[in-house]
Chain A
Amino acid sequence: MIELSTEYFIVLLALFLCVAMAMIRIVKGPTAPDRVVGFDTINTIVIVSMVIFGAAYQTVIYIDVAIVYALLSFVSTLFIARYLQGGDF
């Protein structure tokens, strides 16, 4: 039986609030780099909340997923930045 204790639930709720604020920035953002900044922030918060999930459920596989997600999101951020600045790849 899996149950999430209250303190982890509060932490995850606060992190969800951060993701929501970054999403407002993504929807509103007047230029493309603004949207990329929001996207990058969401990536970091998702990594942190995966680690918290792993600790809360005592399921270590979430943390492995978080490591892979961190590296892949870094590569995707670099590629979007490269695309925005123009020029050859």
Chain B
Amino acid sequence: MLDMILTSIIYLLLAIGVFFNLLAGIGLLRFPDVYTRLHAGTKCTTFGSIFIIGSVILIGLKTWYLGDVNGSVLTIHSAVALIAILLTNPTGAHAIARAAHRSGVMPENAVIDELQIKGKKQKKTEKKETEDHT
């Protein structure tokens, strides 16, 4: 009975994770520009991996409970991989977004873009300074 409940929880977690990962793929294809694609590609894959790796952790705990040392390795190493994903994914997204904005890709039909305004102001002041020097 307990075994059946555990197995169905594992299947449920796998299904949720796969659903969100598929959503990330569809979002990558449907959204119009880099920033919105980053929304889909970062959030959905991170959330999906939490659920899929969570189900693997449950499988590992089950094998560990049944007396197999391999189960401990499965549990702890999957948890370390999950921590690595959680730490690196948002940082990578931030780096890509900043690089995209600095290399001149602007958000499509944006309502407001305060970063661009700030960049223009900076360029103006730099120009003035160079003119003063010359």
Return chain A residues, CB-CB under 8 Å to B77: 60, 63-64, 67
How many A-B residue contacts, CB cutoff 8 Å?
Answer: 145
A36 touches B96 (CB 8 A): yes
Q: When A11-B14, A37-B34 are in contact, do A70 and B85 touch as well, CB less than 8 Å?
A: yes
Interface of A toward B, CB cutoff 8 Å:
7, 11, 14-15, 17-22, 24-25, 31-34, 36-38, 40-41, 44-45, 47-48, 51-52, 54-55, 58, 60, 63-64, 66-67, 70-71, 73-74, 77-78, 80-82, 84-86
Q: How large is the interface on B (under 10, 10 to 19, 20 to 34, 35 or more residues)?
A: 35 or more
The 5 closest A-B pairs by CB, nearest first: A21-B25, A33-B100, A74-B88, A81-B95, A85-B99
Interface of B toward A, CB cutoff 8 Å:
11, 14, 17-18, 21-22, 24-26, 28-29, 34, 37-38, 41-42, 45-46, 48-49, 52-53, 56, 59-60, 63, 70, 73-74, 77-78, 80-81, 84-85, 88-89, 91-93, 95-96, 98-100, 102-103, 105
